[in-house]
Amino acid sequence: MAASDLLLLSLLCMLFVNQCHGACAEVDSDTEAVAGRGFKLGCISCKRRSEVDGAATVEWYFRAKGEADFVRIYTYNEDGPTIEHDHFMDRVDWNGSKRSNDIQDASIYLLNVTFNDTGTYRCFFNRILFYENYEYNTVVSKVVHLSVVAKATRGTASIVSEVMMYVSIIGLQLWLLIEMIYCYRKIAAAGEEALREAANAEYLAIASESKDNCAGVQVGE
């Protein structure tokens, strides 16, 4: 049945997506931090060719609101993480790829956000791809415009996605219900059909019998 096949497929898809944590996906960072709390500045750059070995170092720059220039605040390379700016001293943790030079997630975690952290952040990936006969250098950068608020406000995106989730759950359940009713009725109809056929067969048998009788009667007359 086409409808139930589709349902099964969509359920499988959901399971599959849930199991795909390992795969790299370039998710955009959140852009609204709450003062006094921690905040993850996201920055993900997937390798275009995942089968090619790579190594990357990461630099983060920050331009405070109203300032003209970016300053370097953080680096992550072979020597590990380094906080490069006083404003962020002891307030930045690495949230990116662990135990690997092949960094694809360069997210950092800001502890105890202040309103002074408002501004633009840029992360740079300096990546080397190791091909058989040569190495290939790329630089990828991403920008995060961070605003700091006193209290959490929910982004429209999160509200919309929650509503969509409920809509799709209810939709799938209705579908399932309709499918069940449809199948039930089909089975019931098939049962009736069989009964009717049986009755028909009996009727025919009786009819032909009585026809014989009639013929006998007619002959007798």
Residues that bind ligand NAG (CB under 6 A): 36, 93, 95, 109, 112, 114, 116
**Residue closer to ligand NAG (CB basis): 109 or 175:** 109
**Residue closer to ligand NAG (CB basis): 7 or 119:** 119
Query: CA–CA separation, 118 vs 65, rounded Å?
Result: 6
CB 118, min distance to ligand NAG, A: 10
Query: Residue 95 — φ and ψ, nearest 5°?
Result: -120, 15
CB 123, min distance to ligand NAG, A: 15
CB 107, min distance to ligand NAG, A: 7
Closest CA to 123 of 142, 98, 144: 142
CB 15, min distance to ligand NAG, A: 23
**Residue closer to ligand NAG (CB basis): 113 or 129:** 113
**Residue closer to ligand NAG (CB basis): 38 or 126:** 38
What burial letters (b/e) apply to 36-55, b meaning 16+ CB within 10 Å?
A: eeebebbbbbebeeeeeebb
Query: CA–CA separation, 126 vs 77, rounded Å?
Result: 10
CB 98, min distance to ligand NAG, A: 8
Q: What angle do CA 58, 31, 70 make, to 5 degrees?
A: 50
Closest CA to 43 of 132, 127, 169, 133: 127
**Residue closer to ligand NAG (CB basis): 30 or 93:** 93
Return the amino acid letter for 170.
I
CB 101, min distance to ligand NAG, A: 18
Q: What is the DSSP code string of 41-68?
A: E--B---SSTTSEEEEEEEEEEEETT-S
**Residue closer to ligand NAG (CB basis): 100 or 114:** 114
Q: What angle do CA 50, 56, 59 make, to 5 degrees?
A: 135
The structure tokens 């920050």 sit at: 62
